[in-house]
Amino acid sequence: MSVPVLEVENLRTAVPGPDGPLHPVDGVSFRIARGETFALLGESGCGKSFTALSIMRLLPDAAAIVGGRVRLDGDDLAALPERRMRDVRGHRVAMIFQEPGTSLDPVMTIGDQIGEVLERHFDMRGATARRRILELLDAVGIPDPGRRIDEFPFQLSGGMKQRVMIAAALAGEPSLLIADEPTTALDVTIQAQVLDLLRDLQARLGMAMLLITHDLGIVARMAHSVGVMYAGRIVETAPAARFFDAPAHPYSRKLFDSLPTEGGRRGPLAVMRGTVPPLGHVWTGCRFAARCDHVRPTCERAEPALYAVEPDHEVRCVPEVVDAIRGARAARVVAEQASCATEVHTDGDAALLSIEDLRIHFPIRGGLLRRTIGQVRAVDGVTLSIAAGRTLALVGESGCGKTTVGKGILQLLPTAAGRIVFDGTDLARLDASALRARRQAFQIVFQDPFASLDPRMRVGEILEEGMVSLRPEWSAQRRGDCATELLEAVGLPVDSRDRYPHEFSGGQRQRIAIARALAVEPRLLVCDEPTSALDVSVQAQILNLLQDLQTRLGIAYLFITHNIAVVDHLAHEVAVMYLGRIVEQGPVDAVLRHPSHPYTEALLSAVPTVHGDNGRPVIRLAGDMPSPAAPPSGCHFHPRCPKARPECAERYPDEVVVGRGQRVRCFFPG
């Protein structure tokens, strides 16, 4: 390896605990060379972000570095006084934080926030600074930087805010860039733009990059070398190509097995039992032993030393377990290729839910009297159907109207036009009392379970609340028995009934939200991004649960997501939505393998996979999605479409049927 920009040696960080110091970072070592990307991956709670904050010396007041060295170009950052460290941050080393919406100052313009870096580190002010800010905004792909420089963060989309964060980080011309989950919860198209931007800037400027993520697809696209972190320790390091070809630690192998694979519906995903141990856990052996399928008696007595599998590939595991994992890999790949999920229970081809020309518009009000001066056409003529026991996935960029469709179906939002026929009854024509009587048949799982679960209610009360309201004929005994059965069905202990939502992990709260939705025995479940931002291990648990419930109970799902791998694994049909309208729909295998609409092609080409190149040319869409308050004339996609022709701007295309049962709205499908 060339001379490293960053050397982390046996780094240990402590925070005070009730019974002594806790160590979220406990003996971490790695190197990053100039122009190289080192990816640090693992589940939430493993210590990845705490490692980054330790390098930057941005720890909470009570925390401290208690051991090891952090050398940046030979200087030990852990030993620098805070006064000198301020000269390092933002200049020699910069950080892109996970959530730009909370990291950018809401009362400062974009230009002022980037200008702070230039003034602090280069004493650059006035017209000179403004020219440099415009150059940075242009370099990160911000459209019309002359206008955006004087705007505030709330006026920018999520993707543009992330680009502003990158511009601010690059303003100091750092030799090391730390990117902490830089694309979490971004659409795949925006994610691809951000990743390409980081890679291009790194190649041009020769930066070293520490990339923190739990997304193996992003690691495959970006990283030169990989470190897998678990419970404060790095358990495996390897060059990226070797790691993806043959991960050697049981934890790494489980992360791969938890991923949905391309190629349609499969059997249950591999699931790791248990969760990442809490910080206060007392270790007597291997930290992963309690969750490992290959545990040996020696693993529980002493922590294994690093084992060199190959040059530059080290694993903290006993050699016989590593050899067993690597030897079994070929047989496992063959088994995965041969596996295929059993078809779920269905009630024939009759649609349980059918929506026709659904329109949901929101008024734009202005003037002193707040008169309606326009309409936001959030959903503008959507037609879909779902049969019992089937899953329809609804995909598209943020702001295209996916969630609004789900809420409109459940009549949580008023509809402007269209029919919503559920089991033969048009829900849009029911009055409030008649609709309430039918609500038990359709429920929703919201994207953020922590926000949708009442923090003042115990889990048992949360589960029984819907039964009391929608199943008044049930006795208290039956409600209690049902709550117990639901907790067991979603894989939670019965004593969870007496605990509050804040006492659970994100994955467990999502299970509670699913149990609440199932409590009244619905026939249709709307799942709004139920696995968004979850670790792959927790995602696997949720997907297995949903598949099992559908197989046993014949529930129909409307699955709203931007995760194409999850669609491939779980769904039977998929509908692609753009600016309030469906542009393509059909069987999952047909749409994902043979897309006919240019927008679908762009979405699929932007998806990072653990296999690297998916064989499709990468399509980069120009600009952002137009406003639904003023959609473009003709085909709404034509301003961003690489195949647009003059007729595309004149009228909206009719729906045409192409091979394999796909329906597409395009003048030039395929």
- As averages over each run of 10 residues, the pLDDT of the chain (670 residues) reads 86 91 94 96 90 94 93 93 93 88 89 95 95 91 88 84 89 94 78 85 91 90 95 96 93 91 70 83 90 91 91 93 74 41 46 95 87 90 96 91 94 94 93 91 87 92 93 93 89 89 83 91 92 80 89 93 90 96 96 94 88 66 81 94 93 90 91
DSSP 495: G
* pLDDT number for residue 343: 41
CA dihedral sign of residues 231, 234, 240, 242? negative
Nearest by Cα to 555 from 342, 264, 345: 345
**CATH code, 4-92+174-245:** 3.40.50.300
Residue range(s) in the chain whose domain bears CATH number 3.40.50.300? 4-92+174-245
DSSP 313: E
For the packed helices 110-122 and 158-171, what is the interaxial angle rounded to 10 degrees?
A: 10
DSSP 89: B
123's CB contacts (< 8 A; 6+ apart) are none
Q: Answer for the pair 623, 607: CB distance below 8 angstroms, yes or no.
A: no
Write out the two tokens for 639.
């301003």
Note the Cα 352 to chain centre separation in Å.
30
Write out the two tokens for 45.
């709670």
* pLDDT number for residue 109: 96
Phi, psi (deg, nearest 5) at residue 637: -90, -10
Let me know the angle formed at the C-alpha of 53 by 50 and 57, rounded to the nearest 5 degrees: 135
* pLDDT number for residue 349: 59
Nearest by Cα to 376 from 387, 390, 362: 362
* pLDDT number for residue 133: 96
* pLDDT number for residue 266: 60
Gap between the Cα atoms of 566 and 265, Å rounded: 10
Q: Return the SS3 of 670.
A: coil
404: β partners: none
511's CB contacts (< 8 A; 6+ apart) are 490, 491, 492, 541, 542, 545
Note the Cα 521 to chain centre separation in Å.
29
Residue with tokens 């779920």: 344
Q: Compute and round to an integer the Cα radius of gyration of the chain.
A: 26
* pLDDT number for residue 29: 96
The number of CA neighbours under 13 Å toward the Cβ of 78 is: 20
* pLDDT number for residue 607: 86
Q: Answer for the pair 632, 626: CB distance below 8 angstroms, yes or no.
A: yes
226: β partners: 39, 238
Phi, psi (deg, nearest 5) at residue 295: -60, 140
Write out the two tokens for 601.
């092609």
